[in-house]
Structure 1
Amino acid sequence: MAKPAVEFHGLAHVLPFPLPRFQKKNIAAMLLAVLASPYKTRTFSARARPTIPTSGLHVLDLIDRASLEADPTLYDKLLKKCTHLGKIKEGRAVHSHILRSKFRDDLVIHNTILHMYAKCGALDDARKLFDEISSRDVVTWTALVAGYSQNGRTEDALLLFPQMLRVGLQPNQFTLSSLLKASGAGPNHRHGQHVHAFSFKYAYDSNVYVGSALVDMYARFDLMDDAHLVFDGLVSKNEVSWNALIAGHARKGEGVHSLSLFREMLREEFKPTQFTYSSVFSACASSGSLEQGKWVHAHMTKSGCKLVAFAGNTLLDMYAKSGSIQDAKNVFDRLVKRDVVSWNSMLKGYSQHGLGKETLQCFEEMLRIGTEPNDVTFLGVLSACSHAGLLDEGQYYFELMKKKYMIEPHVAHYVTIVDLLGRAGLLDRALKFIRDLPTEPTAAVWKALLGASRMHKNVELGAYAAERVFELDPYDSGPHVLLSNIYASARRWGDVSKVRKMMKDSGVKKEPACSWVEIENTVHMFMSNDDAHLQRDEIHVKWVEISGKIKEMGYVPDTSHVLLFVDEHEREVKLQYHSEKLALAFALLNTPPGSTILIKKNIRVCGDCHSAIKFASKVVDREIIVRDTNRFHHFRDGSCSCGDYW
């Protein structure tokens, strides 16, 4: 009968002990061969040929039992295996074994151990070993600098550099790159500039690794001219340097620059990575460049790059923010693996498009498959409930977040609940909720109540909420404008004048309303009563034509949205040239019949424009999408996706 296999931590193997002297050398060689092979777990009978466990993580047991003499190569491979797998417990065991061997003072091995600790995030172990090493070289210092930098301990990483210089060691490209990474996460670019100076001193300024880190550091502080200067000075570039520059522009919201650099990167025959695609999709999302985003997506698909969560999540977000929620759902369904960010992106997309029921269905599916929600998840769910008027559901999920998932609400959650109650007309309950908060309400909380007061024309509560906002955030023009609008709707022109005088005296300036459309990669922007566009005459004629047709269908201009003390006729005239109406007329003139029109606006769409565009969608037989600061409105066949609740 075969002897049962001997188990070592779930790894089955059998070796005859003690080993004959002539087999010891062969066994050591086999150990090294196994460490270079993939991990698998196998079981062998006692009669089978002696075999080594294929994980390699417990070969030290075999070394001790077989009285083998370990060598540096074996230790090196073991430590690298532990580093690769993040096996810190096993790494400590290897370290302990080394301390009992003749290599306990070997600097090369110590550096490998230090790198292992730093890479696995065991920074206390790394620092302890660093302090114990009597003779350190540049690799020792660099390993600890990199460890601190990679684990967010910026100040510790930067403090090591002058100490390293004082002992007479010269930094290498890896030291400088790690220091620049730490500098990029710091409070300002001062440290990064000092490291840049040392890069010049040691002739590493044109090194591709140091140069890429410099580009990234300057880009993170929005110093794009400096980033370009370093980038252009690189003798050779790689994907990392291109990615750093593209990502810098993407973070700044410069969609055009990111796309231009992406095309240039392709012309120079550099292969985009997941990070490249993620940055470009992010840039397209911030600018709402749907067609450009589709082109980049097509390139990604053609290149054979898998749709993993890293780039997939930003692609999903790009489609959602650019108005195509169905494309966002298609991406979500094709992701190789979904993480919590994937689910949150889909939930946020549904919420932004006013699809409350779809949001809740998606959330319940997320819970069903076992993905743990976080505070961002619940923010998306609560926002969806607010936009869709799902009062009971919103209150239920707010309690679920606190009681079942033990997530402490923060300001954004409180704002959504005030918004939820306020939109539903429960202004007294919204005020009570604010007064019962466990923390002092912020300006954002009072702004939510102010917005609800404007919606329901509650002048007294609106004035009260506005006063609270003025105390907390006196230079924000939004609350002043809302209060002015509340007074204007109530025809309290004297109070309107007082608010405007307050704004003038305080130096608060109202952001002018504008709308824009993108046609053939060119953005066309419009202001109210805009007469600066080259097609202004055709635009005005087109809107007069549309206006006449929608009036025949029942559209009646809502002059309460004109916030000026003028007669009724002039009010109606002013309504006809709001920026979104001009943008719509322009798009109708310059896009193929039947195509979808996407208009973006920098403030909330007004009630009259909302009504007019509903009628227009039926007249022109097109889907018209308007994205304002709150959400997307999908107008089709005379109705809106928001159900007139926004």
Structure 2
Amino acid sequence: MRKHHKLLLNHFLRRRATRPYTSAAHLATTPAAAAAASGLDALDLLDAGELAPTPRLYHSLITACAQTRSLDDAKTIHAHLAGSRLAGDAFLCNSLIHLYCKCGAVSDARRVFDEMLNRDMVSWTSLIAGYAQNDMSVEAVGLLPGMLRARFKPNGFTFASLLKAAGACAGRGIGEQIHALSVKCNWDEDVYVGSALLDMYARCGQMDMAIAVFDRLDSKNGVSWNVLIAGFARKGDGETTLMTFAEMQRNGFEATHFTYSSVFSAIAGIGVLEQGKWVHAHMIKSGQKLTAFVGNTMLDMYAKSGSMVDARKVFDRMDKKDLVTWNTMLTAFAQYGIGKEAVAHFEEMRKCGIPLNQISFLSILTACSHGGLVKEGKHYFDMMKDYNVEPEIDHYVTFVDLLGRAGLLKGALIFVFKMPMQPTAAVWGALLGACRMHKNAKIGQFAADHVFELDPDDTGPPVLLYNIYASTGQWDAAARVRKMMKATGVKKEPACSWVEIENSVHMFVANDDTHPSAGEIYRMWDKINIKIRKAGYVPNTDYVLLHVDEQEREVKLQYHSEKIALAFALINTPAGAMIRIMKNIRICGDCHSAFKYVSNVFEREIVVRDTNRFHHFSNGSCSCGDYW
């Protein structure tokens, strides 16, 4: 059929050929036969009146053009139809609307629609579907009131298209209104409309409603299961994503590459490596191939779960690597702070002719920032113009971070003042974070004032400013910041750490005594503390930001959430096993020092993922080189 369409279209568009003219007497009467006749020019025959302009012929030509999606050909057919006696035929006009939408020319489809004297149900539905398929969601749902005023009742296909559009208009209440209308029109229990409802609520993040719709579906299929899994993954609910995936298997539905991609994405968010390996093994057993679509999310999952070795294996085994693949690997290098490897990877991208984009440069700048590669970072920032990549605000934020981490605070401040765009709160926040790192209260206060003005609701900057004053012993200034925080209701985010043991996740906070094994955990940390002190560990009380005596400062340091998680992991994992810990804020500098000693004394590899990056401790050192 596709070959027939292409052949017919070629004959139609072969105007004014140099071959001898062939009359209609030698032409079969059906469009298929016309297409098969070698050397015929259907357009010339129509113009000469040798071939009758029938709806069936035009529809075949439009259908053939829809297969090739050539806009020029579509306009040629439209122009010829407009000059024929069939110009106002509703059936053909509807076909033209569909054709233009297929070609991405929705404005042309709208002109055909507006010029129609007799629109029918197909006219309205075709244009609504065209808008939805071309990511013009507001325009799609905007047609509904006019359709109802024209006394046309939406059908299942209309509702499916409207709900697709509503899913992209999250937070506007449009989806709920269309849902109510589908109930009123008795379409809500249709399997296709039901799946569209499920997808709409899932995309809008309303998972309670999505579950309610899912439960009401009489006939669930693989699509509905995939939509539900993808919804939980987008919402960052990794645990429920995995539970739903397991339930899908129990109900006899086979996972597709869409399923695995969603599940890997969810696992990447929570960093549970063993669960990720189980899903990977399940995918291999199911016979699914490692496509770029799935491979990219799998690569990201391994990287974010603390296994660069597995991430690298996935990258190397992928036959077809696209830009996303290369960028995902580059981002992984940046997250681990291994700047030299990131630079080598970036240069390999350039060598292979990979089309670098905004994400490529943002990742390499992040890697240079985390690796202390100031010279290289400046080089790549300047290189962006060579690739016609315009720096966005995130690139400026990262470059300020690059200079700030290196202690070049005045240079970073000058860079901010010379920016070609107005600095945002994120830019000033990056400078403030660097001032916290290097204990520069003067520039820190200046940066904080700008953040307070631009984003007064952000709770992070006041905490950073307090930390700067407290770490430099300026307790009066720290007290003023604390008073301001109390007056505005700003609260520091409580630190927590979690570790996965035998497919179970255990979470801890500082001084946590709620865990069933709390007594054993604290006894274990006391043993660890004694051993690493003998090896040379000295508590760094600068990280206790309270005005108390030295002894109390040391006590405050000992039971941070990551240390409790580490003690629990040492109790519950076999000797020599790698330990992976996640933390919701930046790892404490004293904990960082202690973990280096633990990795050496207990001969363990320890991977800590905090909000900024990964730290891989081994043999008494960290992958970050104490630069983070």
Q: Same fold (TM over 0.5)?
A: yes
- 8 Å CA contact 1:111–1:140 kept in 2: the answer is yes
Deviation string for 1:579-621 (max 9, x for gaps)? 1111001011112222211101111111111111011111222
Q: Is 1:202 paired with 2:185?
A: yes
2:555 aligned residue: 573
Cα distance in 2 for residues equivalent to 1:66 and 1:303: 60
Cα distance in 2 for residues equivalent to 1:59 and 1:9: 5
Deviation at 1:31, TM superposition (A): 5.8
- 8 Å CA contact 1:475–1:506 kept in 2: the answer is no
Cα distance change of structure 1 residues 304 and 98 upon mapping to structure 2, 3 Å threshold: farther
2:96 aligned residue: 113
1:429 aligned residue: 411
User: Which of 474, 480, 490 is 2:456 aligned to?
Assistant: 474
Q: Is 1:497 paired with 2:479?
A: yes
Classify the secondary structure of the residue corresponding to 2:498: strand
Cα distance in 2 for residues equivalent to 1:31 and 1:361: 59
1:444 aligned residue: 426
Letter in 2 for 1:365: E
Identity of aligned residues (%): 56
Cα distance change of structure 1 residues 62 and 359 upon mapping to structure 2, 3 Å threshold: farther
Please say which of residues 636-645 and 480-489 is displaced more in the overlay: 480-489
Q: Is 1:615 paired with 2:572?
A: no
2:617 aligned residue: 635
User: Which of 366, 370, 388 is 1:406 aligned to?
Assistant: 388
Deviation string for 1:178-210 (max 9, x for gaps)? 111122222534221221122112211011111
Cα distance in 2 for residues equivalent to 1:298 and 1:15: 62
1:46 aligned residue: none
Cα distance in 2 for residues equivalent to 1:65 and 1:615: 91
Cα distance in 1 for residues equivalent to 2:101 and 2:467: 58
- 8 Å CA contact 2:27–2:33 kept in 1: the answer is no
Cα distance in 2 for residues equivalent to 1:219 and 1:198: 19
Q: Structure 1: which 5+ residue stretches go unaligned?
A: 1-6, 35-49
Cα distance in 2 for residues equivalent to 1:358 and 1:69: 68
Classify the secondary structure of the residue corresponding to 1:523: strand
Cα distance in 2 for residues equivalent to 1:356 and 1:457: 25
Cα distance in 1 for residues equivalent to 2:172 and 2:251: 30
Classify the secondary structure of the residue corresponding to 1:25: coil
Letter in 1 for 2:613: R
Classify the secondary structure of the residue corresponding to 1:259: helix
Please say which of residues 262-271 and 585-594 is displaced more in the overlay: 262-271
Cα distance in 2 for residues equivalent to 1:162 and 1:310: 38
Cα distance in 2 for residues equivalent to 1:61 and 1:22: 14
Deviation string for 1:426-450 (max 9, x for gaps)? 1111111112222222221122112
User: Which of 216, 228, 234 is 1:245 aligned to?
Assistant: 228
Cα distance in 2 for residues equivalent to 1:332 and 1:52: 51
Cα distance in 2 for residues equivalent to 1:388 and 1:414: 17
Cα distance change of structure 1 residues 150 and 553 upon mapping to structure 2, 3 Å threshold: same
Classify the secondary structure of the residue corresponding to 1:444: helix
Cα distance change of structure 1 residues 103 and 312 upon mapping to structure 2, 3 Å threshold: farther
Letter in 2 for 1:298: A
Q: Structure 2: which 5+ residue stretches go unaligned?
A: 1-9
Deviation at 1:28, TM superposition (A): 5.0
Q: For 1:281-292, list aligned pairs within 5 A.
A: 281-292=264-275
Cα distance in 2 for residues equivalent to 1:62 and 1:321: 64
Classify the secondary structure of the residue corresponding to 2:143: helix
1:215 aligned residue: 198
Please say which of residues 614-623 and 20-29 is displaced more in the overlay: 20-29
Cα distance in 2 for residues equivalent to 1:65 and 1:394: 68
Q: Is 1:235 paired with 2:218?
A: yes
Cα distance change of structure 1 residues 243 and 548 upon mapping to structure 2, 3 Å threshold: same
- 8 Å CA contact 2:166–2:174 kept in 1: the answer is yes
Cα distance change of structure 1 residues 96 and 334 upon mapping to structure 2, 3 Å threshold: farther
Deviation at 1:27, TM superposition (A): 9.0
- 8 Å CA contact 2:326–2:349 kept in 1: the answer is yes
2:356 aligned residue: 373
Cα distance in 2 for residues equivalent to 1:62 and 1:425: 78
Deviation at 1:119, TM superposition (A): 2.2
User: Which of 146, 151, 165 is 1:182 aligned to?
Assistant: 165
Letter in 2 for 1:148: Y
Cα distance in 1 for residues equivalent to 2:24 and 2:175: 58
Please say which of residues 499-508 and 324-333 is displaced more in the overlay: 324-333
Cα distance change of structure 1 residues 578 and 188 upon mapping to structure 2, 3 Å threshold: closer
User: Which of 534, 544, 567 is 1:562 aligned to?
Assistant: 544
Please say which of residues 476-485 and 629-638 is displaced more in the overlay: 476-485
Cα distance change of structure 1 residues 547 and 268 upon mapping to structure 2, 3 Å threshold: same
Cα distance in 2 for residues equivalent to 1:93 and 1:411: 44
User: Which of 583, 596, 603 is 1:601 aligned to?
Assistant: 583
Cα distance in 2 for residues equivalent to 1:141 and 1:640: 62
Deviation at 1:641, TM superposition (A): 0.5
- 8 Å CA contact 1:517–1:600 kept in 2: the answer is yes
1:123 aligned residue: 106
Cα distance in 1 for residues equivalent to 2:349 and 2:55: 49
Cα distance in 1 for residues equivalent to 2:39 and 2:582: 65
Q: Is 1:483 paired with 2:465?
A: yes
Cα distance change of structure 1 residues 327 and 17 upon mapping to structure 2, 3 Å threshold: farther
Please say which of residues 280-289 and 233-242 is displaced more in the overlay: 233-242
Letter in 1 for 2:323: V
Cα distance in 1 for residues equivalent to 2:353 and 2:49: 46
- 8 Å CA contact 2:24–2:45 kept in 1: the answer is no
Q: Is 1:270 paired with 2:253?
A: yes
Q: CA RMSD in A?
A: 2.7
2:302 aligned residue: 319
Deviation at 1:93, TM superposition (A): 2.3
Cα distance in 2 for residues equivalent to 1:242 and 1:485: 47
- Aligned pair count? 617
Classify the secondary structure of the residue corresponding to 1:461: helix
Deviation at 1:176, TM superposition (A): 0.8
Letter in 1 for 2:235: K
Please say which of residues 527-536 and 237-246 is displaced more in the overlay: 237-246
Deviation at 1:230, TM superposition (A): 1.2
Cα distance in 2 for residues equivalent to 1:335 and 1:204: 44
- 8 Å CA contact 1:503–1:509 kept in 2: the answer is yes
1:583 aligned residue: 565
Letter in 1 for 2:285: K
Cα distance in 1 for residues equivalent to 2:336 and 2:34: 59
Letter in 2 for 1:627: R
Letter in 1 for 2:356: P
Deviation at 1:15, TM superposition (A): 11
Classify the secondary structure of the residue corresponding to 1:124: helix
Letter in 2 for 1:161: L
1:39 aligned residue: none
Q: For 1:43-192, list aligned pairs within 5 A.
A: 68-69=51-52, 72=55, 75-100=58-83, 103-186=86-169, 188-192=171-175
2:372 aligned residue: 389
Cα distance change of structure 1 residues 154 and 515 upon mapping to structure 2, 3 Å threshold: same
- 8 Å CA contact 2:342–2:367 kept in 1: the answer is yes
Q: Is 1:343 paired with 2:326?
A: yes
Cα distance in 2 for residues equivalent to 1:332 and 1:22: 63
Give me the TM-score of the superposition, normalised by structure 1. Answer: 0.89
Deviation at 1:94, TM superposition (A): 2.8
